[in-house]
């Protein structure tokens, strides 16, 4: 498990805005190649196969059919109890098999062995592709089990993340998402008389104005580690299509790091670093936390769940610290909404009774009480439209942000996010692109050469795994 995911799971967070990780690296899990691995297809029908399954939770009705679940989000125990209390025919048998990458490693091992996988598993969006690439798939297409009937209940971005950009497939049911906003120190901007920026040009100028007024910190920070803003979302916001991969043709992938849109983004952050306006500290490191504590970052461009980390810093110890949320700066009127993270409930091809497993995946988070548990106990930013659009949700006041109704900003971002095309080997793609992006920003490496090298390395890896390049 990465530091990012550990911090998200440990956080104690108020209910108004946060979302579970969603965006952790998955370096611990195996990458699926185009050739796939050995496993049988879904469609099993043995309602008694889990009669003797061992569960972490207490089963409410021992006579009912059991469906096994691996999941790690905070609050999942309460959600499982609620499901079991409200269902006479099905009971969820839940096991915490590890968080993020630890769980994925066990799942990959079970897939190779052809046994040992659960019926339903929590997966982050960015890892779904590696389990359905090639001719043999480890996840069931839930369109065969009624997923099409619930598609319109979720945001477009969340659904595209589990369908891998297809109208014909659904390899999970969305749970949560991570709308990206600008989290800023109101007290710093007020002290130095600088306006809150709304465009990236204004952001750069605000950094200069803060410096000129005597602020000794940075307007922001470039962190390319994990699935952080500068590794994925910054490029997607400018409509750079770094990867083009869909479940409609899982043996082909498009890779394009050399677009004008990608170049504009990297040149921008390189320039801000060279001008001394931003730092380049990897997130969740000692330097990162020290700068947060010392008030050396005037803004964080991050997903809503970052509140948990800010609570961990305990900003109240920083005299006068006042955090607020605003829409992120944009390039122009065509800039896309951004997201970091998110997870789903997927049905595995080892499910003992596939139809029952599909009911659990679609039903665990479905009614009002289960979504309330997800928000209150699970620190999840919901993917369900009915929650995002509800007056109760939009009018929640967040004490950490000075009583601000942050969902009035975050919910429209979540609703307008359209999705991101991850590769079926995303952890490897991160591994290849991260050091090169950081070198360009910190060392001033040529941007064109950097983007070409990323493109070449990712393309070479894809071809080695058997993918055809579009």
301 and 391, same domain (yes or no): no
Residues 402 and 462 in one domain: no
Same domain, 163 and 105: yes
Q: Is residue 453 part of a domain?
A: yes
Whether the CB-CB separation of 243 and 254 falls below 8 Å is answered with yes
Best CA proximity match to 71, nearest among 349, 357, 338, 302: 357
pLDDT at 41: 41
Distance CA 157, CA 335 (A): 15
**Nearest Cα residue to 128 out of 429, 469, 426:** 426
Q: Which of 381, 407, 433 is where one domain is finished?
A: 407
Which pLDDT belongs to residue 74?
A: 85
- CA dist 25 and 28 (Å) reads 8
Provide CB contacts within 8 A for 270, sequence distance 6+: 440, 441, 444, 447
Asked if residue 207 and residue 115 are part of one domain, the reply reads no
CB burial string 442-460: b at 16+ within 10 A, e below: eeebebeebbebbbebbbe
DSSP H/E element including 120: strand 120-124
Regarding whether 360 and 438 lie in a shared domain, the answer is no
Answer whether residue 412 is part of any domain. no
35 domain residue, yes or no = yes
Q: Token digits for 68?
A: 């096994």
Query: Domain end: 355, 374, 407, which one?
Result: 407
Return the CATH number at 77. Answer: 3.40.190.10
Asked whether residue 285 is domain-assigned, the answer is yes
Strand order in the sheet with 468-469: 243-244, 252-255, 468-469
Of the residues 385, 407, 429, the one at which a domain ends:
407
Question: How many angstroms separate the Cα of 390 from the Cα of each of 133, 366, 385, 412, 456?
Answer: 37, 15, 8, 12, 46
Same-domain pairing of 221 and 330: yes
Cα 216 to Cα 205: distance, rounded to the nearest angstrom:
15
Contact (CB, 8 A) for 93 and 69: yes
154 and 110 both lie in a single domain:
yes
Which residue has 């059919």 as its token pair?
Answer: 65
Name every residue whose Cβ is closer than 8 Å to that of residue 3 and which is 6 or more positions away in sequence. Answer: 283, 284, 285
Per-residue pLDDT at 294: 87
Rounded Cα distance, 296 and 183, in Å:
14
**Which residues, at least 6 apart from 98, have a Cβ–Cβ distance to it below 8 Å?**
1, 72, 105, 106
Total structural domains within the chain: 2
In a domain, 414, yes or no: no
Report yes or no on 253 lying in a domain.
yes
Position 413 in a domain: no
CB atoms within 10 A of CB 62: 8
210 in Cβ contact with 219 (< 8 Å): yes
**pLDDT value for 418:** 95
Residue 202 placed within a domain? yes
Residues 276 and 313 reside in one and the same domain = yes
- Which structural domain range is residue 395 located in? 3-177+342-407
Structure tokens at 173: 């049911």
Q: How far apart are CA 224 and CA 434, in angstroms?
A: 6
- 24 and 164 in a common domain: yes
Q: List the chain pLDDT tens, one digit each, 470 residues.
A: 333 443 444 333 333 333 333 333 333 333 444 433 333 344 788 889 999 999 999 999 999 999 999 999 889 999 999 999 999 999 999 999 988 889 999 999 999 999 999 999 999 999 999 999 877 799 999 999 999 999 999 999 999 999 999 999 999 999 999 999 999 999 999 999 999 999 999 999 999 999 999 999 999 999 877 678 898 999 999 999 999 999 999 899 999 999 999 999 999 999 999 999 999 998 988 889 888 888 999 999 999 988 877 876 655 555 667 999 999 999 999 999 999 999 999 999 999 999 999 999 999 999 999 999 999 887 789 999 999 999 999 999 998 899 999 999 999 999 999 999 999 999 999 999 999 999 999 999 999 999 999 999 999 999 999 999 99
Burial class (CB in 10 A: 0-12, 13-18, 19+), 249: exposed
In whole angstroms, give the CA distance from residue 433 to residue 450.
Answer: 9
Q: What's the pLDDT at 26?
A: 31
Q: What share of the chain is helix, strand, coil (3-state, %, to 5)?
A: 40, 15, 45
Same domain, 232 and 277: yes
Contact criterion met (CB below 8 Å) for 454 and 432: yes
Q: For residues 314 and 330, state if they share a domain.
A: yes
208 with 334, same domain?
A: yes
């Amino acid at each position: 498990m990465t530091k990012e995911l550990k911090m998200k799971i440990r956080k104690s967070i108020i209910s108004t805005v946060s979302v579970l990780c969603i965006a952790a690296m998955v370096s611990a899990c195996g990458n699926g190649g185009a050739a796939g691995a050995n496993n049988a297809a879904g469609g099993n029908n043995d309602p008694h196969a889990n009669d003797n399954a061992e569960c972490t939770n207490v089963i409410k009705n021992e006579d009912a059919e059991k469906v096994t679940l691996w999941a790690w989000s905070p609050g999942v125990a309460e959600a499982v109890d609620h499901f079991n209390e409200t269902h006479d025919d099905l009971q969820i048998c839940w096991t915490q098999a590890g968080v993020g990458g630890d769980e994925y490693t066990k799942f990959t091992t079970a897939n190779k062995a052809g046994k040992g996988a659960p019926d339903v598993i929590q997966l982050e969006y960015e890892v779904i592709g590696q389990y359905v690439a090639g001719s043999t798939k480890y996840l069931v297409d839930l369109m065969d089990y009624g997923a099409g009937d619930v598609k319109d209940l979720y945001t477009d971005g969340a659904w595209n993340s589990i369908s891998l950009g297809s109208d014909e497939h659904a390899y999970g049911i969305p749970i949560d998402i991570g709308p990206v906003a600008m989290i800023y120190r109101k007290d710093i901007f007020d002290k130095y008389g600088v306006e809150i920026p709304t465009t990236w040009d204004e952001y750069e100028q605000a950094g200069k104005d803060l410096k000129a007024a005597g602020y000794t910190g940075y307007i922001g920070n470039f962190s390319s580690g994990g699935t952080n803003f500068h590794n994925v979302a910054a490029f997607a916001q400018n409509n750079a299509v770094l990867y083009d991969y869909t479940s409609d043709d899982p043996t082909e992938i498009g890779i394009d790091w050399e677009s004008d849109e990608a170049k504009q983004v990297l040149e921008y952050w390189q320039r801000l670093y060279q001008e001394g306006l931003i730092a380049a500290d990897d997130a969740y490191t000692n330097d990162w936390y020290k700068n947060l504590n010392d008030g050396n970052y005037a803004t964080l461009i991050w997903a809503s769940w970052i509140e948990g980390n800010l609570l961990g810093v305990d900003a109240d110890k920083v005299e006068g610290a006042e955090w607020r949320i605003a829409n992120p700066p944009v390039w122009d009127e065509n800039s896309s909404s951004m997201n970091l993270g998110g997870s789903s409930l997927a049905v595995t091809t080892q499910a003992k009774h596939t139809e029952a497993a599909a009911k659990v995946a679609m039903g665990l988070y479905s009614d009002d009480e289960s979504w309330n548990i997800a928000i209150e106990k699970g620190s999840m930013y919901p993917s369900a439209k009915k929650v995002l659009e509800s007056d109760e949700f939009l009018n929640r006041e967040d004490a950490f942000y000075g009583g601000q109704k942050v969902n009035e900003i975050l919910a429209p971002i979540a609703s307008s996010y359209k999705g991101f095309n991850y590769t079926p080997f995303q952890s490897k793609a991160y591994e290849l692109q991260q050091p090169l992006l950081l070198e360009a920003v910190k060392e001033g490496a040529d941007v064109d050469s950097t983007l070409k090298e990323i493109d070449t390395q990712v393309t070479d890896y894809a071809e080695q795994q058997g993918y055809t390049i579009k």
